[in-house]
Structure 1
Amino acid sequence: MIEQNAFILHRRPYRENQLLVDLLTEDEGKVTALVYVGQSKRSIKKGLIQPFLPLRVSIKGEGTFKQITQVDSTAKSFSLIKHSLFSAFYINELMIRLLTEHIACTDLFIQYRNTLTALAQGKEIASQLRFFELALLEELGLSFDFSPVFEFEANYFHYITEQGFVPVYEALPKNSQQCFAQAHLQVIAQRQPINQSSVLLNGLSEQEPETYQFTNEVNHTFKLLMRQVINQLLGNKPLNSRKLFTQKA
């Protein structure tokens, strides 16, 4: 039996009085497990098996599905509304789709908790999502090598899978939607907040999830870059959570 911190990514009915749950755990990464919630509508376990609530869970067993034998909350649920809530569902779905089960990803767990904290605090959403996506790609072994955007004198770069950033020497590339401005990529590589441009930061600290905030132009470039790479990983099956952002409030 393993006891560890966890978050619920998704839950769905399985058999009578049971739920099948996808979790992000601190020690084992993504885990799928069954939990018995009982018959009562006021079941304590059922009330705890919710997204965005910090949990302490005990998991045991082997085979197709493990069993959650004990679950307790360790803090209040993150208060998320509107686009902050949609964003949290988005990163949950990303992890469900892309993470392999039972591979420890402690750094990503911390990044996830920090991202929820920033979203709940009403921090600027775009950069929070981009750096979570970046951390997820690094966990998948797909970290970016930004060195070409400093080594080559080119206004724009393509990003090509298995090649990385490739300079484009046209003044205005014909297919400009698939190109990324060098100046924007350099800012992203350095992870410079707009109010601390002289400070190079190496990661999103647990204490300061709000540190990263870019201009709208840099955020747009960052979004296009991450979407290109993530869409390739997702294949032909789009994310359902992206539809939430297009719905009217």
Structure 2
Amino acid sequence: MIEQNAFVLHSRPYRENQQLVDLLTEQDGKVTALVYVGQSKRSIKKGLIQPFLPLKLTLKGQGNVKYITQIDSISKSYSLVKYSLFSSFYINELLIRLLTEQIACQHLFSQYQTTLTALAQGEEIAPQLRLFELALLEELGLSFDFSPVFEHDVNYFHYIAEQGFVPVYDPFPKNSTQCFDKTHLQAIAQRGSLYQNGMSEDVSYTFKLLMRQVINQLLGNKPLNSRKLFANKAYS
């Protein structure tokens, strides 16, 4: 048993007076755990099992499902409203769908906190989601190699899984929606200055399309429910 920081990603009723909880923990990564919440509607534990509330808890047990033996909040919930809240549900669903159980991911845990903080402070949503998506892909071993976009003298590139960026030699490709502009990809590759100086609408759109293509491939045929919350705001 070890006490560690954690966030609830999702919870649902299990058996009488119990909940099954998906957690992102600082030491153990994504964990599925059971917690006894009691019968009272005013149960303290029941009030703590909610997303975006920083927690400190202790897990016990072996196997795929742990037991939460102790749980406390360590600060107030992040103040998230409207599209910032929807964006936070989006990153929670990504973690549930894509992370493997019980593999430590301390850098991603730190990025998760950083993203929630930025969203709660009202910072621009799209850059925060892209940074988080990049951190998640790196955790999954899928970091981008941008070197081809600097080496090839072409205007557009395809991105192909397990191959990376592939040059498109037709200067005016017919299906340009499947291509990524070279200058946009170069800006994304140098994202340190990109976020300091602001991101153009065109680059932001290319970045979103690139990340959506890669993430959709990982998700397979089952789309994310949280994307429906955005309506006309295509952040994810």
The answer (yes or no) to whether the contact 1:193–1:214 under 8 Å persists in 2 is no
Q: Match of 2:8?
A: 8
Determine whether 1:37 maps to 2:37.
yes
Deviations 1:98-135 (A, max 9, x none): 00001000000000000000000000000110111111
CA contact (8 A) 2:20 2:34 kept: yes
Which of these residues, 199, 209, 226, is aligned with residue 241 of structure 1?
226
SS at 1:170 equivalent: coil
Give the match for residue 51 of structure 2. 51
- Find the aligned partners of 2:209 and 2:52 in 1 and give their Cα distance: 27
1:98 correspondence with 2:83 = no
The question of whether the paired residues in 1 share the 8 Å contact of 2:188 and 2:194 is answered with: no
After superposition, the Cα gap between the structure-2 partners of 1:196 and 1:137, relative to the gap in structure 1 and judged at 3 Å, is: closer
Residue 224 in structure 1 maps to residue 209 in structure 2: yes
| Maintained 8 Å contact 1:48/1:72 | yes
* Residues 1:71 and 1:196: Cα distance change in structure 2 (over 3 Å): closer
Deviation at 1:247, TM superposition (A): 7.6
Q: Cα RMSD between the aligned structures?
A: 1.4
Question: Matches of residues 97-136 of structure 1 in structure 2 within 5 Å?
Answer: 97-136=97-136
Q: Does the 8 Å CA contact 2:57/2:71 hold for their aligned counterparts?
A: yes
Q: Does 1:148 align with 2:142?
A: no
Local SS of the residue matching 1:162: coil
How many residues are aligned here?
A: 233
Q: Give the secondary structure class of the aligned counterpart of 1:5.
A: strand
Kindly indicate which of the two structures has a greater share of residues assigned to helix. Answer: 2
Letter in 2 for 1:165: F
Distance 1:247 1:12, change over 3 A: farther
Classify the secondary structure of the residue corresponding to 1:154: coil
**1: CA distance, partners of 2:195 / 2:163:** 33
Cα distance, 1:192 vs. partner?
A: 3.9
> Match for residue 205 of structure 1?
none
In the TM superposition, residue 64 of structure 1 has moved relative to its aligned partner by 3.5
* Cα drift, residue 214 of structure 1: 1.3
The residue type equivalent to 2:128 in the other structure is: Q
Q: Say if 2:124 is the partner of 1:139.
A: no
List per-residue Cα deviations over 1:77-116 (Å, max 9, x = no partner). 0000010000000000000000000100000000000000
2: distance between equivalents of 1:72 and 1:196?
Answer: 37
Q: Structure 2 vs 1, CA of residues 194 and 130 (structure 1 numbering), >3 Å: closer, same or farther?
A: closer
Contact 1:157 1:182 in 2 (8 A): yes
Q: TM-score, normalised by structure 2?
A: 0.96
Identity %: 76
Q: Give the corresponding residue for 1:183.
A: 183
Segment of structure 1 superposing worse, 61-70 or 49-58? 61-70
Q: Distance in 1 between matches of 2:70 and 2:203?
A: 45
The CA distance in 2 between the partners of 1:88 and 1:179, in whole Å, is 29
Distance in 2, matches of 1:161 and 1:141, equals: 12
